[in-house]
């Protein structure tokens, strides 16, 4: 009989690339012209990939399943625990804004809000049991499984035509599980631990191991990810042990400088030293060693754990380990490196 055919992977980057090149795709119109397909454009597939959903689970989502926290810019989806009960709501998965309000398909918050607001507008108000996205002809009608697959394959055909990196995409293999495979591999490439991937995806089978292995084999830096991760953890541990907090570090330096000044050995500006430390620990700019592009951390909440720090475009730079280098404003102003188009629109 041979091994079971695997669903194709559709990368979020491909969706974003298609949208950037054709602004009409930033809307929510269906790809197909039929009336029974889903209304939501590329946004519905982005949501499925980000939350690692099956097509049945995606199609069964209701407005009541989506909890939006506008203050924290966090979205929570109430999802089924088991694939045997696609209408169940026992699992809760939450993500926050990753793009700084740029309305990116890689941002869970922006994707969810885009779909939610559109549906509420179509309905004329919030209806808890109404679908998160209805059919093209009816906002209150759930989309049938076969229509979800037809629209997904139409989306894949469009991506294949317009995105050069997707030229080998097998349209017939874009099946109901393509979002799960795509989402798991995306998380694996980002360095997310296997147990967290399994929890996030509500995946109880060993299939997830195959997805993760594929992602690592396809990733040029895959072989270095473990070492980069361990190195980063060691750096954090050493920093925490030696300095505690930035204030502790500044206090220690102030004491040392005071002792030096009393001995008339030198004359330091403590405020300047503190400023230098802050710029190093919480960089205003970060350079990707691989792409050679400069990214901005404007708006980054440095009070969060370091692995959650992101640039304006949503790049979690600390997850890249040695592939990300901090850059001072002085160096930024004279640097000839290319700037990230989304960080510096």
- Cα dist from 103 to 107, 183, 317, 326, whole Å: 7, 19, 20, 26
Assess whether 30 and 156 both reside in one domain.
yes
- Owner of token pair 């179509």: 122
pTM: 0.65
The boundaries of the domain holding residue 136 are: 12-179
- 3-state SS, one letter per residue, for 308-345: HCCCCCCCCHHHHHHHEEEECHHHHHHCCCEECCCCCC
Assess whether 21 and 162 both reside in one domain.
yes
Q: How many domains does the chain have?
A: 2
Residue that terminates a domain, selected from 179, 204, 236: 179
d(CA 277, CA 292): 24
Assess whether 56 and 141 both reside in one domain.
yes
List, for residues 59-99, the tens digit of each pLDDT value: 999 999 999 999 999 999 999 887 776 666 789 999 999 88
List, for residues 35-48, the tens digit of each pLDDT value: 899 999 999 999 99
Assess whether 172 and 231 both reside in one domain.
no
Assess whether 107 and 243 both reside in one domain.
no
pLDDT at 165: 92
pLDDT at 2: 38
Residue that terminates a domain, selected from 111, 145, 179: 179
Is 319 among the domain residues?
A: yes
Is the model's pLDDT at 189 over the cut of 80? Answer: yes
């Amino acid at each position: 009989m041979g091994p079971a055919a695997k669903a194709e992977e559709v990368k979020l980057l491909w969706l974003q690339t298609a949208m950037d090149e054709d602004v009409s795709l930033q809307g929510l119109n269906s790809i197909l012209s039929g009336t029974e397909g889903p209304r939501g454009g590329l946004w519905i597939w982005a949501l499925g990939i980000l939350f690692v959903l099956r097509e049945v689970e995606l199609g069964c989502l209701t407005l009541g399943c989506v909890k939006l926290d506008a203050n924290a810019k966090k979205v929570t989806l109430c999802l089924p625990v088991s694939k045997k009960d696609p209408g169940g709501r026992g699992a809760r998965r939450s993500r926050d804004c990753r793009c700084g309000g740029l309305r990116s398909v890689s941002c869970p918050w922006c994707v969810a809000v885009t779909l939610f607001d559109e549906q509420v507008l179509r309905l004329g108000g919030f209806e808890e049991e109404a679908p998160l996205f209805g059919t093209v002809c009816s906002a209150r009608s759930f989309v049938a499984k076969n229509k979800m697959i037809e629209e997904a394959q139409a989306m894949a055909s469009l991506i294949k035509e317009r995105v050069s990196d997707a030229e080998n995409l097998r349209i017939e293999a874009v099946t109901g599980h393509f979002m799960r495979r795509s989402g798991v591999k995306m998380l694996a490439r980002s360095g997310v631990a296997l147990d967290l991937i399994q929890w996030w995806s509500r995946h109880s089978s060993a299939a997830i191991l195959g997805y993760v292995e594929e992602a690592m084999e396809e990733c040029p830096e895959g072989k270095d990810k473990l070492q980069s991760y361990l190195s980063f953890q060691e750096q954090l541990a050493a920093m925490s042990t030696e300095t505690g907090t930035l204030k502790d570090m500044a206090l220690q330096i102030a004491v040392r400088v005071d002792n030096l000044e009393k001995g008339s050995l030198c004359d330091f500006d403590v405020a300047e030293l503190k400023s230098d430390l802050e710029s190093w620990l919480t960089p205003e700019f970060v350079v990707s060693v691989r792409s050679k592009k400069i990214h901005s951390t404007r708006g980054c909440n440095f009070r969060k754990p370091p692995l959650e720090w992101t640039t304006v475009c949503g790049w979690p730079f600390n997850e890249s380990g040695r592939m990300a280098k901090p850059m001072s404003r002085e160096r930024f102003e004279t640097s000839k490196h290319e700037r990230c188009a989304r960080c510096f629109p």
